[in-house]
Structure 1
Amino acid sequence: MKKISEVSRLTDNPHLNLYHLKGTNRVGKTLNYYIASRVKNMERLKLKTKRNDPDGIIVYSLYGEKRDRVVLVRQYRYSIDDYIYEFPAGLVEEGEDYREAGIRELKEETGLSLELIDADLMFEKPGFMSVGMTDESCATIYGYASGTPSKKGQEDSEEIEIVLADREEVKRILKEEHVAIMCAYMLMHFLQDKEPFDFLNL
């Protein structure tokens, strides 16, 4: 049986750190594994708490009188040295409810306000982002965005373009652009479903 016997923190950064896991694998041989985590304290690693509290939040929202456009951001990401299409998203602050975090992040990144849909918790449940290398998880919230797009709330470190995409533009983005995988799956629903949020009524 696999067993982790020791965890050590290798970096000291504000938003993401590298941890070394030591132990034995399923056949009893020495295991050395490395993970990244958003937590600032080893005792809060999910492998220790066994809890899946969301580190971040993703906002899937529709825009316009006909609610026929989806709110996206085209953001520069250092990991690929390129731009990628994503939903507005961000980190949940200490003591902050993830829904409040989503409303705040949408406002900061796009200038838009969010009317939340009261979805069943199964649709908002935090999911792991890339579990082979990190314990980071994000919850998803849904709603209708309104207002005038603005970059005023964006941080200096952010390079974000606000995109209000109709179905034709979404098709082009999926065919031609880099798209975050969770965003891509939802955009496929947006293309195919007459009412994009119908799946929330299960």
Structure 2
Amino acid sequence: MRRRFRRPGGTGNTAIAAVTVVALCSGLWLLHDGAAPPAPPQPSPAQARAVDDDRSGGPVSAPALPPSPPDRIRIPAIDVDAPLTGLGLTPTGSLDVPPAARKNLAGWYEAGTTPGERGTAIVAGHVDNAEGPGVFFSLGALRKGSTIEVDRRDGGVAVFTVDAVEVYDARDFPDAKVYGAAPRPELRVITCGGGYSRTTGYRGNVVVYARLTGSR
């Protein structure tokens, strides 16, 4: 199922071009015959971003880190511990995705911001494949205040705190909100969700919003 996304820019992370992500949302596992498997969890309205999020009293954002490619992402609250591969664009201009056969592999948009650098870094992964749940199957169960850790190639670890978890219908995907320029180091983690159709796959996307709150 096709999903409309906006390609992040460089360090300032200005959204500069529309691309299409094609392979995250087919729901191959749910297409199997037999008893229906459990659907991935979806975020509740309580996990949505507050209007005055920067004044919510949560952890203070940490200073930006130098650019460094990421190698691994860990989200302890939902038992994610996965390697990261670089994602580029396909010949048709769509954002590439990790190989579906490697269900514990996530990807990051390597032409954009690196996690921990000022701007908005993008990580995406499958919700499932033909064999079962994928790396981000439980992403919709994540809650505000949860921690995301990204191992960087420079030997450091960027630590992010989740500000919000939201789900969007594909027709109403908020490009500017998800991919817009950020003055601080931010992270978006994206997979599919928002209901499921056997003919078209998942109808939308789950998006986690997080900001850098520490490093080690």
Provide the TM-score with structure 2 as the length reference.
0.27
Q: TM-score, normalised by structure 1?
A: 0.28
- Per residue, is there more strand in 1 or in 2? 2
Q: Which of the two has higher C-alpha Rg?
A: 1
